[in-house]
Amino acid sequence: MAIIAAGTPVPEITLKREDGSDLTQDDLRGRTTVLVFYPFAFSPVCTDQLQVYEELLPELAEQNAVMYGVSTDASWSQTAFKEKLGITIEQLSDFEPKGAASKALGAYFEPAGMTNRALIVVGPDGTVAWSHLAASPGDLPGVDKVREGLAAVAA
Amino acid sequence: MDPAGTRPGAIRPDDHACGPLDGPPVVLYGDATCPRCQDATRFLRAAPVRLVWRHLVLRARGPRPRALAGALEAAARQDAFWPFLDRLLADPGRQDDPDLWALARELGLDVERFERDRRDEAATARIDADLADGLSAGASGTPAIVVAGGVDHGIPDEAWIQALLAERAT
């Protein structure tokens, strides 16, 4: 599955926010959005990634950008995960229908039935500005990759 | 070589470095509370590499990583960075403030100075600069181990060292 390419408008998607409300493609307009797709809450590798990204939040705020973590876990699991990590990055659940939004964005890993390790940066106009699919789900993109994506919006 | 230390992973004059001067440079961005960093550091201390420790202190992990990084900086000012780190790693269950004071005493440090230094602006600035460096170098977790070929996040083993030495020889 190829990840959604830069220049493509975000298709119709629906993800569940932590408060149970829906987040759709229309909610991505007006500011830059960084979607961080990770395979599973509580997997040891994902743990480190989101704690490292938490350090980037002040920099994102300066650029009118917001970051979300996305996985196919249910919101309850994501919230527990977030609390365990001590992070504030809001989590979006792609639980039901499972992985539908991730599939629409090319960020789903079919062989294992899980969200792939991917980053998608959406510009304030609702168009994908940059995307990155890790070579394998265990391959963690660093903060430098997120910065690369933000630079694509600024360009 | 990069004497000015401008490349990611290059050794800077003010780095906390140990091991043979002619060994391949290995820069470990770590958190002394992190068990994987402890394992990686214990292994690398005995390896034929020029090991550098820089702090990767993540806010999400609470106050202890920063407290330990500050203690290490304070120990460094009394030329005891590596003995202090070695002792912390040897007994990772003892990392509270009274343990740090006891350790400083055992190593013959001036404890009052140690206590003052570990919280001062210079220590804070150093810890923050190390974090910024680590993030720029591509750290996505701890330990983040930067070598000439890039950044690794696993715990090094003998095969990793051999590959590093072989790469350097080519």
pLDDT for A138 equals 77
Question: In this predicted structure, what is the pLDDT of residue A1?
Answer: 74
Residue A4 maps to a domain: no
CB of A82 within 8 A of CB of A71? no
Whether chain A has a CB inside 8 Å of the CB on B149: the answer is no
A83 touching B (Cβ < 8 Å): no
In a domain, B85, yes or no: yes
Domain hosting A150: range is: 14-154
**Residues B81-128: tens digit of each pLDDT:** 999 999 999 999 999 999 999 999 999 999 999 999 999 999 999 999
The model's pLDDT over B131-149, given as tens digits with 9 standing for 90+, comes to 999 999 999 999 999 998 7
**Residue B1 lies inside a defined structural domain of this protein:** no
* B8 part of a folded domain: no
Phi, psi at A36, each rounded to 5°: -110, 105
The answer to whether position A3 is within a domain reads no
User: Is residue A119 a part of any domain in this protein?
Assistant: yes
- For residue B66, give its domain range: 16-169
Q: What percent of chain B has pLDDT over 90?
A: 89
- Amino acid B2: pLDDT: 42
| Inter-chain CB proximity B140 and A141 less than 8 Å | yes
The verdict on residue A2 lying in a domain is: no
In a domain, A7, yes or no: no
Q: Tell me whether residue B2 is in a domain.
A: no
Q: Which ipTM was obtained for this model? A: 0.79
Task: Please give the average per-residue pLDDT across A95-107, as a whole number.
Answer: 97
E strand or H helix that includes residue A38: none
Candidate from B131, B136, B140 with C-beta closest to A140: B140
The CATH number of whichever domain residue B154 belongs to comes to 3.40.30.10
Can you give the CATH number for the domain in which A139 is found?
Answer: 3.40.30.10
Residues 60 through 79 of chain B touching chain A, CB cutoff 8 Å: 60-62
Closest by Cβ to B135, choosing from A87, A140, A143: A143
Q: Which residue of B has its CA nearest to A53?
A: B140
Preferred mutation among B131, B135, B136 to probe A, highest tally of A CBs within 10 A: B135
Please pick, among A28, A41, A46, A89, the residue that the annotation labels catalytic: A46
Position A8 in a domain = no
Has residue A137 got a pLDDT over 80?
no
Structural domain tally of chain A? 1
Please indicate, yes or no, if residue A142 is contained in any of the structural domains. yes
- Residue A92 inside a domain? The answer is yes
Residue B1: its pLDDT value, please? 36
A33: enclosing H helix or E strand: strand A32-37
Q: What is the mean pLDDT of residues A107-129?
A: 95
Q: How much of chain B exceeds pLDDT 70, in percent?
A: 95
> With contact defined as beta carbons under 8 Å apart, do B69 and B33 qualify?
no
pLDDT value of position B4: 43
Shortest Cα–Cα distance, B126 to chain A (Å): 16
Task: Say how many domains are in chain B.
Answer: 1
**Tens-digit pLDDT profile for residues A20-72:** 999 999 999 999 999 999 999 998 665 789 999 999 999 999 999 999 999 99
The tokens of A11 are what? 């298709």
Is pLDDT at A154 greater than 80 in this prediction? no
Residue A108: the pLDDT is: 95
pLDDT at residue B6 is higher than 60: no
The structure tokens 């990204």 sit at: A53
Tens of pLDDT, residues B28-59: 999 999 999 999 999 999 999 999 999 999 99
3-state secondary structure of A53: helix
